[in-house]
Structure 1
Amino acid sequence: MSRFQRYDGGDPLAPPVDLAGALDAIGQDVMAGYSPEHAMREFLRRGSNDQAGLDELQRQLAQRRRDILQRNNLDGTMQEVRELLDKAVLAERGQLARDITMSDEDRDFREMVLDSAWPQGGSPSTAAAVSELASYDWQSSEAREAYEEIKDLLGRELLDQRLAGMKQALEGATEEDRAAVAEMLADLNDLLEKHAAGEDTDEAFAAFMDKHGDFFPDNPQDMDELLDSLAQRAAAAQRMLNSMTEEQRRELMELSQQAFGSPQLMEQLARMDANLQALRPGEDWSGSESFEGEQGMGLGDGTGALADLAQLDQLSDQISQSYQGARLDDVDLDALAGQLGPEAAVAAKTLQELERALRDSGYLKRGSDGELRLSPKAMRQLGKALLRDVADRMSGRSGARETRTTGLAGEPSGASRRWAFGDTEPWDVSRTITNAVLRGGASPVRIQVDDIEVVETEARTQAAVALLVDTSFSMAMDGRWVPMKRTALALHQLVRSRFRGDDLQLIAFGRHAQVMEVEELTGLDARWDKGTNLHHGLLLANRFFRKHPNAQPVLLIVTDGEPTAHLEPDGEVWFSYPPHPLTIAHSVRELDAAARLGAQVTFFRLGEDPGLARFIDSMARRVDGRMVSPELDDLGAAVVGSYLGSRGPGTSYREHFGDVYGGGRGFWV
């Protein structure tokens, strides 16, 4: 059965979230020593080449905040009132000059009142001028209309502070409209006070909304939604007042008494603010902002800007993910789209899906201690990605080319057999065609699965592979820590996926050596203890080889320093720098023991130290081994290539990396 749901933004044809890319990036940080939880957070913050991360969204939020503060100021209403006063006084002066019926004494008196309240070229108090002219008998109808517009503007602005959109909704309002506003405010305050006393009911809320619902276009569904909406707006209005200068606040409070020509409006608004502050004390009623721009905002717009700033701060907190139990599902996508646009919301939604997929897909697993760890599934996926990178590097290395003996697992024995599912040996073409002809005739020849025969090959020798990786101080200090881990994980993935008959042991050697599982080595923190105990590492490798007497020993050693530590007979570590002859002797003795066990030895020298190069070259020659000096980026390819070389000739990259390239264990035509 198909399921349909509402489209929620983004490109409907976009590919699903890139889990593989995310896991690879997280794996790099884990191998560098970060916890999986920290690594996941860092990836979500950084994002990727085609995906904005949390840091980019945080930057956009900060830029939006700066734009609001640097573009605007809070003097818009006062400026509009001053312009209306200028208009009213100018029109009145013109009327007085034109009115020939007026006595000189009356004209002079009126001129004196206008000069006293609003002198030309002076800096009078706007609030005082509005108050002083409240009782003035305007002779000009144009002047009277301009002055009445001031009172209307103040009323609409004060309401717009508490109920967004009221400035526009009440433009040109009649006395009946104003009476409806007054009734609504009185009923609202009664409802708020009943709620504070626990006396309100759902029926009371419903009755209020039936009567006054037109004043609340956001259509709150219950008392809590109504309270939240009103308190957030009222708190923003208070923060706007806090952000004004002392002179601006005083002027505004005096002007407010002239709103709609009646002080009752301010009384009801003050009552409402007190009720809301008591019911929602957790809102920010004391904050302030510093506006520095030139674009004046009215009271309603200014309150909206303060509300926007509060929402931006809330979104910033959500995106910072710095609080206990933070999840990206906490981010309000609708608010983010409103502030930054739909592209930002789509980016955040993708990050939410990535976080959810990483947690729910089984890649991250919480241990008994409560800490997140990379799961075995994640290790396999990461190993595949690293092995794919190794395969790409090997196929592009100088002198390396893919052969056409695909599927060959050993030397041909001269016989053939029926193909069975899972066989990777090449076809015996002549026998296959002969079978098809005998079954169906010579023309045309149609090959069926039952006709196919493959070339039998000699059984491949089982290998016991010991990978010794240097975990000394210098490996971490010189940036070789992560490439070493990548190499170990790639080789582990290759052996587990393509050479299951082989045994691999990972041995880390620093001041002392120890056998490690790949998960333990991958999550190993950098060790700052000095010491390169190759002797101990070779002891463990030889013990491993002796446990597999029928397997071909393969010894791979990755190091960037000469041996500076060895084990004493009592098990204590003996350290000396520069290397002591006794330490060298112990290391050489165990290397000779590996050679006597038949080990194929390859040293991978990291760094350009000439003394190290001479020492490792002499060690390799002593046991008829090899020394390879790869670049760090090629270390994995060098180690894997050496291992594949130990498997004998006659095999191709396509066989070894078939799963990596998506070929599986099928056959090639």
Structure 2
Amino acid sequence: MRYRYGRWGGGADPLAPPTDLRAAVDDLGREIMEGASPASALRELLRRGVDGTRGLDDLTSRLWQRRAAIQRRHRLDGTLQEIRKLLDDALAAERRALFPDPADDARFREAQLDALPPGTAAAVRELAEYDWQSPQARESYEKIQDLLGRELLDQRFQGMKQALQGVERQDVKRIQRMLRDLNALLDAHGKGSPDTPRLFDEFMRKHGEFFPENPRNVDELIDALAARSAAAQRMMNSMTAEQRAELASLSEQAFGSSGIGSELSRLDSMLQSLRPGEDWTSSARFRGKDPLGLGEGAQAMADLAELDALAEQLSQSYPGARLEDIDLEALERQLGQEASVDARRLADLERQLRQQNILERAPDGSMRLTPKALRRLGETALRGVIDKIRRRGERDSRRAGAAGELTGSTRPWQFGDTEPWDVPRSLRNAVLRSGEMKLNVVDVEVSETEQRSRAAIALCVDTSWSMVQDGRWVPMKRTALALHHLVRTRFRTDALQLITFGRYAETVDIGQLTALEGVWEQGTNLHHALLLAGRHLRRHPDAQPVVLVVTDGEPTAHLEADGEAEFTYPPLPRTLARTLAEVDSMARLGATITVFMLGDDPRLAAFVDLVARRSGGRVVAPGEDGLGAAVVSDYLRSRRRS
């Protein structure tokens, strides 16, 4: 086989690693669990960026820095300065030629030069009919006309200045014909002539060399010309009144008496009427020392407009914004190839998060995490819990139920595993790895087992404002995610119910709990939570009842007979009595209550000790970092006890 290698022509880096969606999902989950909506969490992820890829904020900051640098470095009177220098050179050369001449005509000519008006444009116009005695002076003066013509054309046709270096008189006529034909084409288009397509094709055949953009139709031609012309107008708006007057007067003399200046004025007028939506009125302040010519100044104004457009695209603040909207070619022009690669990676990340079923639209139109994303978050949360359990020397939850029945799933063998081997899969792995029946320890898979005794678990989590205020909100959510993932993947026959309780209690699914926002709400209604827990346990009479409560405050609310919650702080004796009555009801169902106490409130400690004694349960004070490990360990301990 033969291979051919060539230079990389741009686009996505073929050797770049694929986008790490797992890390992105973890970042999204962290933001959402802290109270952000999925849509705002995605925006924050894209603004901040991911490992190895700069975010939108960084790119936007670089755009503003470049914009400020353009205005801070440059000034717009470069053409006027260059014309003044050519005029001074011409006058100096002419005076040197006249000085040794004793004739009266020489003195008369010196008087003419002395009487020239001080303004550059007026002096150039006054010298239009002057009979130069110095060839050098005549050459310098003629350069003024050629320079003006090239600058005026470059101001409206990008790159024209370089194309017209060393221009000859026949080239001037060719440009004049092009401008005349262009104005005729735009005039016909503006009047809605049906011959416009034919006129456009004919125009491009005759003058296509002047338009490297290669427009496909008259509208694309007008768009390109109008953008450049508007930039030229914004440049004029940014100059002083004196500078504008000088240029207006000088432009009439472009290329001598060829009439190019008048054709350009007519072109600007038609473009302004054809594209009124372009920015023809704004201006910018330039305060640097580096002078720009007309063409360079127009390009600077075009760059500023392009930078503003890119900043708007990167802001993603308009309806229906997508990162695919970003003009990568413009971004590369302004910030370099690395910036366009970063933007492309962010767009790929956003697209894959949608395509890979990570985010979805809820019925109300809002964004939410999909079950696939929630599984990923649960897996990450459970992994963190398992790591803590291992460090404490407790049993690995993945081996729970090792002496039970086969679940039908397998996993790679690890040192210390006692589960039976899955022989067919182990041999298959060996053949795929080595091409022969040569078994290695890396090929071995064991059959997973679990205990078939069922458990009905009610996880009651406190969602009062103190949980948010004291930094316990995210650990609580991670704990619920870890337990939910463990039950769904390892103990599929168990029935888990998630219950939140603040002023009121309610049952929620894992998606609702993950996206739950902390709100200012007074009340810790454990009474209502235990009522819902009891309902869940009664629906599963054949299962081992397990009640887990995560809270950082004593009960301060209870449910009245009419369904209204009564809140009082300090808690009323009636609130404590009704809560303990539900604790006794749990005990009659055979459920022990484990309370995970967060914080060191002595009143809470006294209450949960009473709960533990009355239910035969226990109290755990794990701290925020150890909450997940404590809850999962207690759940596994309850299952083993059953």
TM over 0.5: yes
Which residue of the other structure, out of 120, 141, 149, is the alignment partner of 1:147? 141
> Structure 2 counterpart of 1:581, which letter?
P
Q: 1:606 to 1:50 in 2, by over 3 A?
A: farther
Aligned residue for 1:259, secondary structure, equals coil
What do residues 566-604 of structure 1 show as CA deviations (whole Å, max 9, x unaligned)? 122333322210112221122222223323333233211
Unaligned 5+ runs, structure 1: 1-5, 119-123, 432-444, 651-669
What do residues 173-225 of structure 1 show as CA deviations (whole Å, max 9, x unaligned)? 11101010101111111111111112233222111111111111121121111
Q: 1:107 to 1:295 in 2, by over 3 A?
A: same
Say what the alpha-carbon RMSD is for the aligned residues.
2.9
Q: 1:278 to 1:448 in 2, by over 3 A?
A: closer
Aligned residue for 1:260, secondary structure, equals coil
> Structure 1 counterpart of 2:479, which letter?
T
User: Quick one: distance in 1 between partners of 2:9 and 2:163?
Assistant: 32
User: Quick one: distance in 2 between partners of 1:563 and 1:453?
Assistant: 49
* Count of residue pairs brought into register by the alignment: 614
Name 1:109's counterpart in structure 2: 108
Which residue of the other structure, out of 525, 543, 546, is the alignment partner of 2:535? 543
User: Quick one: distance in 2 between partners of 1:592 and 1:357?
Assistant: 51
Name 1:89's counterpart in structure 2: 91
> Is 1:353 matched with 2:348?
yes
Most deviating of 15-24 and 278-287: 15-24
Residue pairs, 1:61-210, within 5 angstroms: 61-97=63-99, 99=100, 101-103=101-103, 105-117=104-116, 124-199=118-193, 200-210=195-205
Most deviating of 381-390 and 284-293: 381-390
Q: Is the CA contact 2:498–2:508 (under 8 Å) kept in the aligned structure 1?
A: yes
Q: Is the CA contact 2:407–2:448 (under 8 Å) kept in the aligned structure 1?
A: no
Following superposition, the deviation at residue 458 of structure 1 comes to 9.5
Which residue of the other structure, out of 454, 468, 483, is the alignment partner of 2:475? 483
User: Quick one: distance in 1 between partners of 2:627 and 2:344?
Assistant: 38
Most deviating of 349-358 and 619-628: 619-628
Following superposition, the deviation at residue 149 of structure 1 comes to 0.7
User: Quick one: distance in 1 between partners of 2:148 and 2:327?
Assistant: 34
Q: Is the CA contact 2:32–2:38 (under 8 Å) kept in the aligned structure 1?
A: yes
Name 1:400's counterpart in structure 2: 393
User: Quick one: distance in 1 between partners of 2:450 and 2:229?
Assistant: 85
Q: 1:456 to 1:358 in 2, by over 3 A?
A: closer
Aligned residue for 2:283, secondary structure, equals coil
Q: 1:81 to 1:464 in 2, by over 3 A?
A: same
Name 1:422's counterpart in structure 2: 409
Residue pairs, 1:321-336, within 5 angstroms: 321-336=316-331
Q: 1:117 to 1:453 in 2, by over 3 A?
A: closer
> Structure 2 counterpart of 1:359, which letter?
R
Residue pairs, 1:445-484, within 5 angstroms: 459-484=451-476
Q: Is the CA contact 1:507–1:537 (under 8 Å) kept in the aligned structure 2?
A: yes
Name 1:514's counterpart in structure 2: 506
User: Quick one: distance in 2 between partners of 1:453 and 1:127?
Assistant: 90
What do residues 534-587 of structure 1 show as CA deviations (whole Å, max 9, x unaligned)? 111112212222332232221111111110011223333222101122211222
Name 1:630's counterpart in structure 2: 622
Following superposition, the deviation at residue 367 of structure 1 comes to 2.6
> Structure 2 counterpart of 1:528, which letter?
W
Following superposition, the deviation at residue 621 of structure 1 comes to 4.0
Following superposition, the deviation at residue 629 of structure 1 comes to 2.3
Name 2:638's counterpart in structure 1: 646
User: Quick one: distance in 2 between partners of 1:244 and 1:48?
Assistant: 43
Q: Is the CA contact 2:200–2:218 (under 8 Å) kept in the aligned structure 1?
A: yes
Q: Is the CA contact 2:253–2:261 (under 8 Å) kept in the aligned structure 1?
A: no
| TM-score, normalization by structure 1 | 0.86
Aligned residue for 1:647, secondary structure, equals helix
Residue pairs, 1:223-622, within 5 angstroms: 223-262=218-257, 264-396=259-391, 399-400=392-393, 407=399, 409=401, 422=409, 426=418, 459-622=451-614
User: Quick one: distance in 1 between partners of 2:126 and 2:374?
Assistant: 81
Aligned residue for 2:476, secondary structure, equals helix
Q: Is the CA contact 1:406–1:426 (under 8 Å) kept in the aligned structure 2?
A: no
Aligned residue for 2:640, secondary structure, equals coil
Percent identity between the two aligned chains: 55
What do residues 374-425 of structure 1 show as CA deviations (whole Å, max 9, x unaligned)? 22222222222222232233333xx32667x98562558xxxx9x9953688
Aligned residue for 1:261, secondary structure, equals coil
Unaligned 5+ runs, structure 2: 1-7, 412-416, 424-436
Following superposition, the deviation at residue 324 of structure 1 comes to 1.5
Q: Is the CA contact 2:524–2:556 (under 8 Å) kept in the aligned structure 1?
A: yes
> Structure 2 counterpart of 1:57, which letter?
L
> Structure 2 counterpart of 1:527, which letter?
V
> Structure 1 counterpart of 2:105, which letter?
D
Aligned residue for 1:467, secondary structure, equals strand
User: Quick one: distance in 2 between partners of 1:9 and 1:406?
Assistant: 44
Q: Is the CA contact 2:502–2:524 (under 8 Å) kept in the aligned structure 1?
A: yes
Q: Is the CA contact 2:252–2:262 (under 8 Å) kept in the aligned structure 1?
A: no
Q: 1:386 to 1:411 in 2, by over 3 A?
A: closer
Following superposition, the deviation at residue 285 of structure 1 comes to 1.0
Name 1:22's counterpart in structure 2: 24
> Structure 2 counterpart of 1:108, which letter?
R
